[in-house]
Amino acid sequence: MSVKALDATGLKCPQPLLKMALLAADMQRGDILEVTADCPTFEADVRAWCTRLKKTLLTVKQEGGYRKTVQIRF
């Protein structure tokens, strides 16, 4: 199991999800992707992405304003 981090702060949706999709191609079962972003729709977009791809959204941490960090298990 490995943990990969992506800082998508300053990117507007759908750019954080596009960057996540690029990293997802190299993720193995059990790996965790931690993503930080400040796009207003980021959490809703991540929830929909996880549901669509059958990935587990482990945590959503509010860090002030729209900035959030999520952890996704593959």
DSSP character at residue 64:
S
The residue type at 32: I
> Is-catalytic flag, 39?
no
Instruction: Identify the active-site residue in 13, 24, 27, 57.
Output: 13
Query: From CA 63, how far away is CA 31, in angstroms rounded?
Result: 23
Q: Which token pair is 4? A: 């990969």
Q: Which residues are marked as active site?
A: 13
